[in-house]
Amino acid sequence: MNQRRSRRPAPRPPEGTPAPGELARMARSRLAGAVRVARWADAALGPGRDGATADGRATLSDATAERAARDLGLIPAQVRADWDTARLAGLIEVHGGTARPGWRLRAWDRDDSAVLRGWVALFDAWSLAHPEPEEYEPAAVAEVVSAMPQVLSFLQLSAGPVPVTQLLDLLQQRVTELRTERCEIDYVPQPGADGPRGDAPRGDGPRPGEPGADVSRTPDARTGPEPRRPRPAPAEPVVADAPLEPLLDWALHALASVGALTYGDGQATLTPLGSWAVWVKLEQICVAAQSPAGNIEQSAEDMLRGCAQLRPNAARAEYRAWLAARPVGSAVTELIGAARGEDALLRGLAFEALRVVGAPAEPEVRAVLDEPTLRPYALLWLAEHDGADPEDAHEVLTREEATWLWVDTAAAVADHGEAPLLVRHLESAVQPTVPALLNEVRAVGHPRTVQVLVALAAAHPDPALAKAVRRAAFQVHTGG
């Protein structure tokens, strides 16, 4: 912590990238329809007016869509499309059964960074902005979505039109890598194959990467006794028995619909906005790869542990890079999973990382409000997301929730901090006196209450107070 780290010079975007003000102008133009509908909703559906959406689900009912279409001179289908775009860009935020204007809408005309962040949020959600046809297999779609960052990186490095046939070949390679990483190798029984029984397929041997696996040998089923099915020829790319060409066509059309690229005449080209966004994400990945922690390849739990000793700004940079390297949905799910663990420090850090995610994390954060372990963190996250000052966000907690959070944070300090930090943590309690705090801590039922009180008693320099804390710990331990 005391070592002075050399500052990495601020990276410059590739030559020819428009200035931020020009990029923001492009984003405003692309999102003009969404902004128009969002402002209409702010005026027509806001508090004190007719209420939120008529169907009570924060989606446009037929009556509301027709009303907006009349007011704006549009057709209902265009209103619905612009409404969905506004939600994905954070111009409209959904809260339970209501929708309200997002903070980006308030800052739209004066803050270029808010505009660019709104467009990047839409870019990140390209697969939602242009849903895949129902006939596509979900597993195949998921693989293509996971593989598209590499395709976009290739487009960005090419800095010009790229034939779709070349992108298809690259997509096939990346999908094959994803399937290999999951060890999805098909086996078919062969006469005379060795195994536990003479007629059993050899599907229980060591996998690639495990001890005993010979990854240098890849015999073909036509030339060797290995009962391994030959891989499909490159000319017929197949993912989960689904051809890749129509899936790539859908992905390119979806990215074109959000303004990330142009697609036609058998080739694709990134727009200036798309090229800039891909460069930003590549730069975030490079920062993580060059950072002391190097967390980009780690699981959420290991990434959070690696960030535990970093300063807040450095940790946020790590979070951004880690998030940039994976789909936002799976990243949020993984962070929530890490928050459910026993380590209270990781719980707090997970919600810090979710603050970096922003609006896309809101549905999953709301979904954990019924979990006592996560509820206080989720309430604070939602309050800040709704625009509350971080210094005042704690006011949304009940006294019991605030006390539970105090114990949980104290557990993190006891496990990972120093004794003086635990003593200073007393000052953050909502109770005015230590006896009042001890009474409520005993009643709150946190599973780490005894350990926290014992650690606090050992750390506190006041003998009388330490004795009272030890007595409280003993009472909790004995059920008193």
Summary count for the chain: helices (H), strands (E) = 22, 7
Mean local confidence (pLDDT), 237-265: 82
pTM of the model: 0.57
Find the farthest-apart pair of alpha carbons in the chain and give their distance in angstroms, rounded. 82
Q: Are 178 and 144 in contact (CB under 8 A)?
A: no
Dihedral sign from CA coordinates of 427, 429, 431, 433: negative
Distance of CA 432 to the CA centre of its chain: 38
Q: What is the pLDDT of residue 242?
A: 61
The overall average pLDDT reported for the chain is 78
Tell me: the pLDDT tens digits for 262-283? Answer: 999 899 999 999 999 998 888 7
Residue 130 has pLDDT above 50, yes or no: yes
Tokens found for residue 210: 């495990």
Over residues 96-103, the mean pLDDT reads: 70
Q: Quick one: which H or E segment has residue 98?
A: strand 98-101
- β partners of residue 267: 163, 264
Residue 152's pLDDT is: 93
Which token pair is 385? Answer: 């997301």
- Please tell me the distance from the alpha carbon of residue 441 to that of residue 471, in angstroms, as a whole number: 13
Answer left, alpha or beta for residue 445, where phi above 0 means left and psi between -120 and 50 means alpha. Answer: left
Q: Do 437 and 453 touch, CB atoms closer than 8 A?
A: no
pLDDT reading at 205 higher than 50: no
pLDDT recorded at residue 196 = 39
C-alpha 412/C-alpha 355 separation (Å) is 19
Residue type, 63: A
Q: Which residue has 């976009």 as its token pair?
A: 152
Least Cα distance to 155 among 296, 30, 14, 28 occurs for 14
